[in-house]
């Protein structure tokens, strides 16, 4: 007869081995670290209470549970985001502090694509994440979403139609990204506007998320001149800031600090130029960075 304690230990080991993947699914569907962690914890509780004797494939079973719970939470939070002040950007994930999650994210979804996923309906997003990112078979995606394979294929096709080739280009060369990101930040911090402009794409767009708490543009800013004017103005109003290059969402990004104010800068680089800049300034979204305030 199998020892119940042994079964419990085995189920715990199985779950912990799958935890980074489950977190990855939840985070990509939700875009919020704390919500993703909550969903994974709820999945763990459900796993402990489940009759596992009929579970042939724990990975598929748990992926179904976590994606269902994440989808339900996304539907709820989308309604609440309607009252959000200014653009809503995903919460940065500090992969420099999360080696297990970093391995899941390394060849997956960039921060820029996380932003673009906000264009999708909750069902489109869940289907795209499961099928395109995690390569879950269509039949299993259908089961996870209480749908049919034909409907899942339509959801994924619609999601891909919403996303441009640039949006879907989530294979980022870290060394190239770091080189261009560092060059742009050094030029900007040193007041070398010509050098910074040379690294911007003609159609560059800057999006800021202050959540009504920190100073931020309420609409996207387009074009190199306007983007640089906003960045310089922000720097002028916040003298004494420090810039640290840190791995966020699997690629080099910037953490800009002045006293208690923290901003993360995420760049999308296409053809050697920065074509999207995302600034997250809402302190409620920066908890995963584990920072203590700088004096100042």
Q: Supply the DSSP string of 185-240, one letter for each residue.
A: HHHHHTT-HHHHHHTEEEEEEEEEE-TTTS---SS-EESHHHHHHHHHHHHHHSTT
Q: Which two tokens stand for residue 179?
A: 């080189």
Q: Residues 180-192: pLDDT tens digits?
A: 888 887 887 777 8
In sequence order, what are the residues at sequence separation of 6 or more whose Cβ sits closer than 8 angstroms to the Cβ of residue 134?
Answer: 21, 24, 25, 63
The model carries a pTM of: 0.88
Q: What pLDDT, on a 0 to 100 scale, did the predictor assign at position 165?
A: 63
285: which 2 tokens?
């979204």
| Confidence (pLDDT) at 102 | 61
Residue 101 CB coordination number (10 Å): 22
Locate all alpha helices (DSSP H) within the chain, ordered by sequence: 4-30, 33-49, 58-80, 99-105, 111-116, 122-128, 138-144, 149-162, 165-168, 174-189, 193-198, 224-237
pLDDT at 79: 82
Dihedral of CA 19/20/24/30: which sign?
Answer: positive
pLDDT value at residue 8: 59
Q: What is the pLDDT of residues 222-239, one digit of tens each?
A: 999 999 888 877 766 667
pLDDT value at residue 9: 60
- CA distances, 155 to each of 28, 76, 139, 160, 199 (Å): 16, 20, 13, 9, 36
d(CA 90, CA 124): 17
CA dihedral angle for residue 265, residue 183, residue 271, residue 107, rounded to 10 degrees: -50
Weakly modelled stretches of the chain, pLDDT under 70: 1-10, 99-109, 165-174, 235-238, 291-296
Residue 222 and residue 293 in contact, taking contact as beta carbons nearer than 8 Å? no
Cα–chain-centroid distance for residue 15?
Answer: 23
pLDDT score, position 3? 54
């Amino acid at each position: 007869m199998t020892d119940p304690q042994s079964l419990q230990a085995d189920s715990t080991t199985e779950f912990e081995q799958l935890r980074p993947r489950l977190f990855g699914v939840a985070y990509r569907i939700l875009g919020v670290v704390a919500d993703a962690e909550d969903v994974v914890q709820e999945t763990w509780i459900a796993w402990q209470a489940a009759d596992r004797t009929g579970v042939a494939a724990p990975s598929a079973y748990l992926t179904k549970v976590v994606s269902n719970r994440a989808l339900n939470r996304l539907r709820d939070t989308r309604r609440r985001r309607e009252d959000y002040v200014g653009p809503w950007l995903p919460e940065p994930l500090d992969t420099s502090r999360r080696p297990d999650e970093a391995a899941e994210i390394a060849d997956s979804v960039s921060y820029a694509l996380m932003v673009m996923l906000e264009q999708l309906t909750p069902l489109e997003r869940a289907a795209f994440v499961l099928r395109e990112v995690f390569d879950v078979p269509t039949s299993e995606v259908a089961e996870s979403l209480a749908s049919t394979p034909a409907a899942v294929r339509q959801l994924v096709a619609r999601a891909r139609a919403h996303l441009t080739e640039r949006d879907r280009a989530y294979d980022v060369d870290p060394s190239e990204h770091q080189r261009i990101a560092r060059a742009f930040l050094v030029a900007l911090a040193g007041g070398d506007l010509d050098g910074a402009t040379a690294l911007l794409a003609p159609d560059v767009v800057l999006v800021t998320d202050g959540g009504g708490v920190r100073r931020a543009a309420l609409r996207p800013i387009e074009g190199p001149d306007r983007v640089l004017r906003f960045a310089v103005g922000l720097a002028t109003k916040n003298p004494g800031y420090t810039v640290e290059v840190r791995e966020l969402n699997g690629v080099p990004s910037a953490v800009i600090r002045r006293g208690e104010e923290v901003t993360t800068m995420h760049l999308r680089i296409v053809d050697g130029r920065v074509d999207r800049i995302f600034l997250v300034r809402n302190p409620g979204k920066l908890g995963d960075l584990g920072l203590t305030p700088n004096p100042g």
